[in-house]
Amino acid sequence: MRKCLFLDRDGVINHDPGTYTFRVEDFQLLPSVVPVLKALQERGYVFVVITNQGGVAKGLYTKEDVLKVHYYLRDLLSNEGVELLDIFYSLHHDKIGASIDRKPDSLMLERAIYLHSISPEDSYMVGDKDSDIQAAEKVGVKGVKISTNGDLYSLLELLKG
């Protein structure tokens, strides 16, 4: 079983300007992401992104826009020696129609755990919203809430072992 760091996307991995980030040219990695993920990768962690992308349901952007940003994210991290195991995303928004794959529900996490043999007890979910932490708790993953656009350096101390 693998130990995993589940990561929300906007506000945790990339700068969240307060509106939807759906264009590659607007996507900016936060400064602590690469050094922290490299260090944790060396400690045996794998990384899975778990993100709500409700702007698709609202008609603000398309699934193709989401996929372009995710390919870009993978390339950025890979060029720095950090590999993402997977990215799970929900295209739903509760103002348009409820879905159990959208956080705070846990279906995205459940899929990742099953597909990638992840140990929930040895894994963490890092998010900047209560819904990230609530989704993690539903599957026995420890939640770590950070401030939006904050840094990840505190994870190095928390995940020593």
Annotated catalytic residues are: 8, 10
Which H or E run contains 130? helix 130-138
In the numeric block, which tokens belong to residue 24? Answer: 């590659």
Q: Which of 59, 73, 72 is nearest to 13 (CA)?
A: 73
Q: How far is CA 150 from CA 15, 26, 87, 155, in A?
A: 9, 18, 21, 12
